[in-house]
Every structure is written in C-alpha cells, then in structure tokens.
Amino acid sequence: MKLLEEFQQYNDIVILKARQLGISWLCCGYALWKCLFNEGAKVLLMSQGEDEAIEMVSKCRFIFDHLSPLWMVKQKHPDSRERMDFASHDSILMAVPSTENAGRGTDATLVIRDELAQHPFGKRNFVAVGPTIDAGGQIIDMSTINKIDTGNHFTERVTRALNHESNAHMIFLGWRERPKRLKGMGLDDWYRQIIMTKYTEFEREEQYPEKLEDALSPPKSVNRFDREILEDMLKDCYNPIREEYEGYVKIYKEASPGKKYCLVADPSEGAYDPCGAWVIDSQSGEGVVEVRGKISLVEQSRILFGLWNEYFKPFTGVERNAAGIHLIEDLKNLGINTWFYCDGDKHEKEGWWTSSTTRPIMLTDLAEAIKLRQYRIPSGRAISEFLRFIRTPKKPDGESIGGGHGEDVMCWAIYSQIIKKMPVPAGQVRSYHMRGVI
C-alpha cells in the first residue's frame, strides 16, 4: 500500500529491488487500473525482449479476468497477446520490447520498464519516452542490480537519483519486504537454509540484497580499495559536531593549536557536478572538515579561505583542473600562500595536477594507505563513495560505479601525494603511525 501511495505521488520512479517480491504483479495491477479508471490512458509495458513484454500483458489479463463483474468492460481485441484495449475508456495497454526505437513518438500516460538492468537499449528508450514524461506522464523503472555490467542504464538511473542529480524518486526494496516465503518457515530460516546454500555471496548481494549497500557494492574482485577494511572503517564513522554554509560544510573536529593541517580540494564549476574538499590532520591522517555540494566557484573560494584561516593556514593542494585553475587564482588573491606546487621548486604552478601518469600512482598509494588504516575518514557517505570505486577495462586504476562521483576519493588521493612534500618546521621529524606498526 505504501508503494502504491508513492506511485500516486511521483511521476519518475526508480525501484531497486530483490527478486521475487511481487513488484511486477503490483505494477501490472497499477497499469490496468490506469486503463480502467482513466479516460484515454496509454500504458507501455517495456521489457528486455518480446516474450518478457508479452508476459507482463498476460499478468494484466490475469488480473482483469479475476476482477468483480462490476468492473468488467468490453475489450476491442480480447485475444491479443500484445495488448489490451478498452473501447469505453479509449485506453490501451501495450507490450513493448526494448528495441532501438522503442517508445519513440508515443504519447504514453505510463511507461513501466521491468528488469531494466537487462534492457539492451535502455538509455535510448529513456530518451525516446522522455518528452512524454516531461509533458506529465509517468515512468516506473524497476530491476535487480547487475553487478557485472556496472555502467548499464539502470545503475546510472539509481546513482543519479541517489546523488540528487535527477528528479527520480528512488525506492529500495530488500528481500525482507516479502513477509513470508515458504509455509511453516520463518524468513531467517528460509534465507539461511535455501538462499545461502544455493547462491554465492556475490549472487546473494545481487539477487537478494537486504540493504541498499549490499546491492550497490561492487564484486570484491573489482573493488579498487579493500572492501573489508572500508566496511570496518564505517564502524568508526561519527556525526559532525556542527554544519556550516547551509550544510555544505561539516565540522568533525575544531581547529587545535599546535596541530598541522592539510587542505585538499577537487573543485567543480558548481552547476552539474559537486565539488569536494577536506581539511585533514596531517599528523594523525584524520579528516576534520568535509566540504561537499554543487557550489559556485565564488562560494568555494569563500568557504576554503575561511577554513584556511580557521585551521591555521594549512598546506594546500587544489586539483589543477579547469575549474581548479580559476579557484586557485581566487584563493591566491584572497591571501592563501601555503601551496603545494605541481612544478616542484619552480613554484610557478600552484595545486596538484592529475594526469594519466599521476592518477594511477596516487590511487595506488591511497589504496595502500587505506589497507594499512593510515587514514581516518569520519564520513559514512565518503566511505560509501570509496566502496563504489571500481576497476574497469576503461579505467583499470579505478572509477566510480555507474557514472557516480569520486570527489572524496580524489581529495584523499591528492592528500596521499602532497603530504610527502609538506614542509616540516625546523627541529621536527615527521613520523607516521599505522595500526599495529610504529
């Protein structure tokens, strides 16, 4: 009932679900209701192939055949396998396989795409039906996750919804949502005796996830960073003591006299991608301030300069990308003068330059530091980003799963490099402490 209420509330819905919950049946009932109780409704039931699409129509027909006689209306083509149409309502419900041009030129009231992660032309179909949704129609995308094809359209839809980069309403439904599986057997016993003995851990997380993190975590074989270490680090996360700048800045620890800090940043233009920045205690490797959000370069300058003053003028490394060059100039004009220089002793180019040569090195060093627990990252959101950073054929050194963001990963990777060049006051010797090792 809660899910049906959400169907009524949102016009763009993405459902990441476990197997065998009955959600496809519920959606078919909702599609049939659209046709029977709305004039001129046009519903597209889209599946990966023709047989699967026809199966969805069969479910609608089964529901229709078992309705009260009071709700029965005459069908134009009662024997059709591909459609159900009703003359009295001028409504139609159609099976649509995911072909290259599926959905183009339609004026659908509702589009339901089942097991979207398996659709060969999912992204093209989304573009094709997009104008219909923009004009007031509704789309419901649902699927289990495909952990092998991490760049597929469904995973991208999920990632964008979670990152608030689209208007889609994200719903996760774990395997416990179905209260009974086998008669006389509780859920825990069913899972332990049936599912755990039949499927590998990877298959269980893909087909029967209990939590969203289970569904979105990549296979351990492609994780760029040690997954077990990161999951252990999650236990040590804690809430910020306060937030500033409308929540874009999270303070985990106040500035402490005598401590030395680093300020690292992965800037953005602020319109489409979020920026990321951290203030890090250079002696303990602990993040004390987190900056994250779609913020203009002017605001990024103001925030970072404020943190630079508050945390005793930390050693600063801003990624020298397109937005970073502008940010660096703004910060120089404001007075920041404790720079890491990517050109070494020339001191002409402030900031860290990420290139095809430096990127594998910085990510390898970061992976080793994570493995040795040299860093403490207090933000669970940031560690979740590390968990979704994977090796792919396109980026063997790592990239974010499903087109997600990697600002936190890059900030800490920059830190892993600039800390090597951090000036040490006269009379002091820098040392690093690792868990169990001095």
Q: What are the two backbone dihedrals, phi and then psi, of residue 332, each rounded to the nearest 5 degrees? A: -65, -45
CA atoms in the 13 A half-sphere facing the CB of 203: 6
Q: What are the two backbone dihedrals, phi and then psi, of residue 52, each rounded to the nearest 5 degrees? A: -65, -40
Q: Return the percentage of the chain with pLDDT > 70, whole number.
A: 94
Q: What are the two backbone dihedrals, phi and then psi, of residue 437, each rounded to the nearest 5 degrees? A: -135, 140
Residue in the structure block whose two tokens are 């609608």: 60
For residue 34, give every residue at least 6 positions away whose Cβ sits within 8 Å of its Cβ, in sequence order, or none.
41, 43, 91, 93, 109, 110
Which residue(s) pair with 139 in the sheet?
A: 12, 111
Residue 153 has pLDDT above 50, yes or no: yes
Full set of structural domains in the chain with CATH = 2-173 (3.40.50.300), 222-421 (3.30.420.240)
What pLDDT does 436 receive?
A: 40
Give 289-299 pLDDT, tens digit per residue.
999 999 999 99
Q: What are the two backbone dihedrals, phi and then psi, of residue 383, each rounded to the nearest 5 degrees? A: -65, -35
What pLDDT does 433 receive?
A: 42
**C-alpha span between 408 and 194 (Å, rounded):** 39
What pLDDT does 325 receive?
A: 95
Q: What is the DSSP code string of 19-35? A: SSSSHHHHHHHHHHHHH
Split at pLDDT 50, 70, 90, the class of 319 is very high
Give 199-225 pLDDT, tens digit per residue.
877 788 889 999 998 888 767 657 889
